[in-house]
Structure 1
Amino acid sequence: MNKALSFLLILFLAQITQAQRINPKKLNDEITQLNNEKKYNTSIIKLENIINGKEYTSYDKYNAYLQKSFTYKRLYNYSEALDNLNQALAIGIKSPKATEVESRILVEKLFITFDLQKHTEVDQYLAQIKPENIKLIDEKTQSFFISLLAVLDMRKNDYKNADLKLDQAIQLLEKVSPMDLPNIYQKKITLYHFLSQPKLALESYEKGMYYAEKYKMDLYKISMLESLTKYYVDSEDYKNALLTQNKVNNARTQYNHVNQTGKLNILEKELLQKRKNIEIDYEKKISYVLIFLSMILIAFVFVLVKFHLANKQKNILMQRENSRMRMDLESLTKEFDEKGNEKLYLQDYHLTQRQIDIINLIKEGKTNKEIGTILFISENTVKYHLKVIYNILGIENRWGLKK
């Protein structure tokens, strides 16, 4: 019973120590806010602390790598974004939520290849993504996935389904993440251009820009201006296209993502070197501890061997002493006759009166026949009794009875 309770207690403590320590949504909101404020260095340092923290679970670290990917994606550094997605996958599949992790990484890689216009890879990822994968991702990511499908519908000239999908994405984001609505409205601009509905296209621009400014999302401001520029170019309104492109250039200069990426690369190198130094120090400490433990183990084994040998020698001496004492005791307790033969004490054996009488007569030197006459029994009966007496006393003949 006690063993069972101990096992349950150990299991409970193990679950506590391995319990998820961070809230993914809270972490996402915090990193998003820092990135909106262009505090990318702060974001990376915070995420690196989680990644290198021994108290965090594999699922916690997966979320940290995921947020790092989003940070680099905002700065158009897609190679770093993909690298962090791969690291997120490598550590996330070790968590109890491996299926969720695989689904999310698959969708996020789809988004990056879509942004990079790698159409073959987009098709490959789409073929891998199943409805059950989409159910495992959050509603915000679902809305982005739906809007991507809407763009693919537009490329197939299926504008009706594209419009329905974009409306569905807008409904999801209005509920869970309105700051990301510009992402959908910029696609609405393109859709309404294809449908030759300039009024709705400009309304979509105004709505998207409203949310971008409301939540101070500089990246979305740029993407909205780029979408409007493309709209004017496709509409052959080159005057407005040029004016809008100038706004894009100014916005990009202020955003300065290239410079930010350079700073982050320097920071990453510094953090990597710091991490390596910590690992080197840790390995040194471990090696010292192992050497110390090895020395203790060797000393312990040496003491055990010495103790074993001493104990063995002690046992031998004790056995010899016991044998000697036993022999001395036997020599003291035994009595011998004048010829040196050990005496027999009949009272030490369970003999009948008849057997004792026969023994006494033998000691007097009587023959079997004489004993039979004296005891009124036959000579054969005397021989029988003698045989039994010999067995009881452990002697071979009647001479042993005369001691």
Structure 2
Amino acid sequence: MQKSAVEFFSKTCRVVLFWVVFVTPAFLSTLPVQAQNQRFESLEDSVFRLNNRLQFKESQALLLPVLQSDAFDSEEKYRACILLSYTYKRVQDYQSNLLFLAKARDFARQTPAKEKYLAYIMAQEALAHFDIHNYEKSDSLMTVLEKTDFRHIDLENKAKLVMQQGYLRYLDQQYDRAETTYDRAIGWLREASPCDLPMIYVKKMQLYDATRQPGPMLAAFAASRRYADSCGIIKYDIYAHEELLHIYQSHGDPAAVAISRRLDSLNKVYDQTANVAALHNQKEAMLLAESDQKLRSEQDRRQYLTLGLVLAGLLALALLAWGLLHYRRKRVLEKEYQQMERELAAYLAQQKNTPPPPAQPTAPASPSALALPDHDDLSDRQCEVLNLLAAGLSNREIADRLFVSENTVKYHIRNIYQILDIRDRKDLLVNFRR
């Protein structure tokens, strides 16, 4: 009995283990999970249009979810970081610009095009350091790229890097070489990205002012404004007006007053400080919302897991209770059956050892009075059925006792009747009693 109980308990533990390891995770996997349907499509064009309309918050709102979602791969997150660096550069937040370039480098290292992307990031960092007048850092980065003949750098960024080299020559008062370098960069940029031409024309304004050429200086100013207006980039328009105001003020030109008023109106439209603050506020709000969402998701996951484990535990307890009940019932039935077998065996042995009663010549035997049937010709199963019949059990009860179907019991009874030449159950009981 102890061995059977141990085996049953072992089987029950295996059932519980199967439920916890396989059924519970399968149940949890069916829980609703919010799917990520948006893919990385045409974001570059959308961000460019939004930034040109000074809708920097909307631009950032498109890009930050890409970095926060696991649905996007490393290459898509690299591109999102680059676009975010563009957005912050447009509002002259170069600290954030360089921060997202650094993040882009982390994702770039996980992509197959690592070498190409890292070269592009280096070019963007050189441009950023140049804009904040960190010329030494910018020049060192450009030198590295120049040694590779600007390998992996597209024509647009190659033009911008060469423009910066021209400006460094301007600072060294190498004016002729600076103008030649500017013109080469203008040719490339006109082909690759005409909307960025204002930055070179403003550099030429400085050059022509330094060489006392007011006519070409104003022509460069007009060209810069023309490209800025045609592309709708107010930042470049402000850049050109700021440089012209500086030139007029350095010469004491009264036209500086009108340029100053025009610049004030442009700055009100642009409102750089408000844009930077709005971007950072939005970024913090989105990151906080993401953190809250992750916390809620983790809490929900733990609750579902706890529920699954509780259900698994309850099911295991129910199975264990049912198993123990079944085991006890089986043991009780086995004991009863063994006891009945012993009693029937004793009864049959007593009948065999008892001598037959003396013959009564005056009372001939009735045709229906048969001798006690000899069941040596019966099989073991037929003997079991015979003993249970003699005990007065019904067919259903015999079937339950022997763990067989009722039809099987009926089949054995028919064979018993045939072997013992007995008509029915009543005839059988009468012979046993005799």
Please report the TM-score for the alignment, with normalisation by the length of structure 2. 0.59
Q: How many positions carry a matched residue from both structures? A: 282
The yes-or-no answer on 1:34 pairing with 2:53 is no
Task: Find the residue that maps to 1:81 and give its secondary structure.
Answer: helix
1-side partners of 2:211 and 2:309: how far apart? 78
Match of residue 260 from structure 1: 275
Match of residue 219 from structure 1: 235
The residue type equivalent to 1:250 in the other structure is S
The yes-or-no answer on 1:76 pairing with 2:92 is yes
2-side partners of 1:210 and 1:119: how far apart? 28
2-side partners of 1:141 and 1:41: how far apart? 26
Shift in Å, 1:70: 1.1
Q: Identity percentage over the alignment?
A: 22
1:274 counterpart (283, 286, 289): 289
Between 1:276-285 and 1:113-122, the stretch displaced more is: 276-285
In structure 2, list runs of 5 or more residues that go unmatched: 1-38, 320-434
Superposed CA RMSD in Å reads: 3.0
Shift in Å, 1:210: 0.7
Task: Find the residue that maps to 1:239 and give its secondary structure.
Answer: coil
The yes-or-no answer on 1:187 pairing with 2:203 is yes
Task: Find the residue that maps to 1:208 and give its secondary structure.
Answer: helix
Match of residue 113 from structure 2: 97
1:234-383 equivalent positions in 2, closer than 5 A: 234=250, 236-284=251-299, 287=302
Give yes or no for contact 1:35–1:43 (8 Å, CA) kept in 2: yes
Deviations 1:360-382 (A, max 9, x none): xxxxxxxxxxxxxxxxxxxxxxx
Give yes or no for contact 1:103–1:133 (8 Å, CA) kept in 2: no
2-side partners of 1:294 and 1:161: how far apart? 77
Shift in Å, 1:149: 0.7
Shift in Å, 1:189: 0.8
Shift in Å, 1:22: 4.0
1-side partners of 2:195 and 2:310: how far apart? 62
Shift in Å, 1:290: 6.9
Shift in Å, 1:297: 11
Deviations 1:82-115 (A, max 9, x none): 2111111112211112112221222222222222
Shift in Å, 1:46: 0.6
2-side partners of 1:201 and 1:213: how far apart? 18
1-side partners of 2:301 and 2:75: how far apart? 26
The residue type equivalent to 2:199 in the other structure is N
The residue type equivalent to 1:273 in the other structure is L
Deviations 1:103-155 (A, max 9, x none): 12222222222221123433443344344372212222222111111100111
Shift in Å, 1:167: 1.4
Give yes or no for contact 2:228–2:234 (8 Å, CA) kept in 1: yes
Q: For the structure 1 residues 285 and 102, does the alpha-carbon distance in structure 2 shift closer, same or farther, using more than 3 Å as the test?
A: farther
Match of residue 155 from structure 1: 171
Give yes or no for contact 1:100–1:133 (8 Å, CA) kept in 2: no
The residue type equivalent to 2:278 in the other structure is K
Q: For the structure 1 residues 285 and 87, does the alpha-carbon distance in structure 2 shift closer, same or farther, using more than 3 Å as the test?
A: farther
The residue type equivalent to 2:263 in the other structure is V
The yes-or-no answer on 1:174 pairing with 2:156 is no
The residue type equivalent to 1:263 in the other structure is A
In structure 1, list runs of 5 or more residues that go unmatched: 1-20, 304-403
Q: For the structure 1 residues 298 and 119, does the alpha-carbon distance in structure 2 shift closer, same or farther, using more than 3 Å as the test?
A: farther
2-side partners of 1:164 and 1:88: how far apart? 34
Task: Find the residue that maps to 2:255 and give its secondary structure.
Answer: helix
2-side partners of 1:239 and 1:172: how far apart? 37
Q: For the structure 1 residues 294 and 107, does the alpha-carbon distance in structure 2 shift closer, same or farther, using more than 3 Å as the test?
A: farther
Deviations 1:53-107 (A, max 9, x none): 3232211111111111111111111222121111111122111121122212222
2:156 counterpart (115, 137, 140): 140
The yes-or-no answer on 1:231 pairing with 2:259 is no
1-side partners of 2:299 and 2:286: how far apart? 20
Task: Find the residue that maps to 2:177 and give its secondary structure.
Answer: helix
